[in-house]
Amino acid sequence: MEKLPSSIFNDVIGPVMRGPSSSHVAGASRIADIVRQSLNKNVKEVVVDFDVNGSLAESHDGHGTDMGFVSGILGMPVTDPNVSDYNALAEKAGISIEFRILDYGAVHPNNYRIFAKSEDGYSHEWEAVSVGGGMIEMQKYDGFELKMAGDFYEILITADCSEKSTDNILDIIKSYVSDFDFALIDKKGQQALFELKFAKKPSLDTLKPLKSEDFIIDLVYIEPILPTHSSAGCRVPFLTSDELIELAKTDPSELWEFAVRYESCRGNTSKEDVFQKMSDLVSIMENAIEEGLSGTEYKDRILGYQSYKIDEGTRKKKLVPCDLLNTVIKYITAIMEVKSSMGVIVAAPTAGSCGCLPGTVIGVGRSIGASKDEITKGMLAAGLIGIFIAESATFAAEVAGCQVECGAGSSMAAAGVAQMLGGSVEECINAASIALQNVTGLACDPVANRVEVPCLGKNIMGGSNAISSANMALAGYDKVIPLDQTIKAMYDIGLKLPLELRCTFGGLGKTEASLQIRKRLEEQNRR
């Protein structure tokens, strides 16, 4: 099965969630949701292993992995206002969930090894990874390899192949269900796993007689968990910025229009639907700004309410007089404070970088008198830049450092700002390239295992970098390195960063001050 193109609403902007981290909270929740579905939503016992050499061993508690996973097992959306009470809710539901740190040789830093059992003793073993921005890959199921991202309806059939070949079994399966888009088969010994992927929901009535076939060992049905579903016929008009620039030479469309066209093809939906989805996300971002400015509180938090201080400093004439930049700083801070207080935000492209893109695009948009539709167009343009990053790199700081989170957000924001100011397709893409060049090598080193410091400052830095880069591109500055090449260089640098600078326990995170803050918060939470 070929790799399907990234989606703006799956891979780049979203999910809608509560903080602190999309890789940890949203990713964990989605993994757990699939595990829950495999047990017919009747979970009794779960054991989750994290590799001692991965990022989750150190960060699973402070970054919200435990909370996200338990919420998924409970079938509770991460936007639920009671999600922070996850331990009590699991205990009330009679579900035992244990997290262990073991040395089992995981390759990916965000690896999960899961054993789950239902009330009637039915069980499954899963292995999965959280790949960044809330996206996941389910990689192993009861010892078989599979490829599940949550964008298809899926049927998993474990079959006895001792008397029939896999081809014969597949033919029999087709006599019951034949409208699947892909069939992946993994055989081990005398057994095989048939992973059937459907773009449309299959008729579950057809599964009942299939279960009676003597070769069937087990059959599991999984619903999609991503907002944009996939199909075998998915085709997009371009996948790189170079391809888009070439297309734009004969097509006068603006960058946001190309974004709408791309996502419409990717999700097999109307252009009007794509625009409305982004407009709805902008509304959630705007709500987060207003909530943040009104004041936020949360016990397990390093930084208190600070977004009001920009207006206060302006009134006292203590700040450099730059209303637009100060508005952006204020908006970014407000969104980050909502994230840190477990409020609802949009991961854009991640929760750790959720302030940079919306705070900048909305802040600049409002400062120049742009309408809600124009801000939405800016966000669509930004989302398309994110597609190019997703296709050639990652949004996971655990893999490539903060340059792929706040750095990516800054690059996307630069294109969004350039779009709102009337920039051409090439000018918007150049702005994104300049911005990304400016942040290559940015490490991820959260203080006290919380996604607050230096995350807030890096989001704000990303916003100011985006504004400067947009102005440079619009003024005609030479970007020198094309965006596609910049993305590849950035990713190469990220892979060469030491593990401790990729969202674990290094840099600022291992300073004496950080250790003291961590100790204080741990003691506070035990009370």
CATH of the domain at 187: 3.30.70.260
Q: Encode pLDDT of 68-84 as tens digits.
A: 999 999 999 999 999 88
Is 361 within 8 Å of 278 (Cβ atoms)? Answer: no
State the pLDDT confidence band at 163, using cuts at 50, 70 and 90: very high
Same domain, 404 and 466: yes
Summarize the confidence of residues 305-317 as an average pLDDT.
97
Whether residue 234 lies inside any domain: the answer is no
User: Which CATH number belongs to the domain containing residue 325 in this structure?
Assistant: 1.10.4100
Same domain, 427 and 483: yes
Whether residue 235 lies inside any domain: the answer is no
Radius of gyration, CA atoms only, the chain: 23
State the pLDDT confidence band at 57, using cuts at 50, 70 and 90: confident
Same domain, 199 and 266: no
Is 100 within 8 Å of 49 (Cβ atoms)? Answer: yes
Residue 156's pLDDT is what? 98
Peptide bond into 109 cis (omega under 30): no
Peptide bond into 15 cis (omega under 30): yes
The strand pair at 344-346 and 16-18 is best described as antiparallel
* Number of structural domains in the chain: 3
Is 395 within 8 Å of 349 (Cβ atoms)? Answer: yes
Same domain, 172 and 122: no
Element (H, E) at 158: strand 153-160
Candidates 352, 392, 379; CA nearest to 484 is 392
Range scoring the smallest mean pLDDT among 81-90, 275-284, 308-317, 349-358:
81-90
State the pLDDT confidence band at 31, using cuts at 50, 70 and 90: very high
Range scoring the smallest mean pLDDT among 123-127, 201-205, 406-410, 420-424:
201-205
Whether residue 354 lies inside any domain: the answer is yes
Q: What is the domain range of residue 501?
A: 241-526
Same domain, 389 and 503: yes
Whether residue 229 lies inside any domain: the answer is no
Burial of 489 (0-12, 13-18, 19+ CB in 10 A): middle
Whether residue 232 lies inside any domain: the answer is no
Whether residue 230 lies inside any domain: the answer is no
Phi, psi for 45 (deg, rounded to 5): -145, 135
Same domain, 200 and 261: no
Position 411: which residue type? S
Whether residue 236 lies inside any domain: the answer is no
Same domain, 187 and 300: no
Mean pLDDT across the chain, nearest whole number? 95
Same domain, 156 and 291: no
Last residue of a domain, one of 87, 121, 151: 151
Residue 499's pLDDT is what? 86
Residue at token pair 């029999």: 172
Whether residue 215 lies inside any domain: the answer is yes
Last residue of a domain, one of 93, 124, 151: 151
Residue 64's pLDDT is what? 83
Same domain, 77 and 178: no
Q: Is 142 left (phi over 0), alpha (psi -120 to 50) or beta?
A: left
Output the 3-class SS for 27-71.
HHHHHHHHHHHHCCCCEEEEEEEEECCCCHHHHCCCCCHHHHHHH
Same domain, 115 and 164: no
Is 285 within 8 Å of 339 (Cβ atoms)? Answer: no
Last residue of a domain, one of 151, 173, 205: 151
Phi, psi for 131 (deg, rounded to 5): -100, 0
3-state secondary structure of 473: helix
Same domain, 411 and 280: yes
User: Which CATH number belongs to the domain containing residue 128 in this structure?
Assistant: 3.30.1330.90
3-state secondary structure of 326: helix
Dihedral sign computed on CA atoms, order 476, 478, 481, 487: negative
* Cα-to-chain-centroid distance, residue 13: 8
The strand pair at 43-51 and 96-102 is best described as parallel
> Could you tell me which residues are beta bridge partners of residue 136?
130
Same domain, 186 and 312: no
Using a pLDDT cut of 70, give the percent of the chain over it: 100
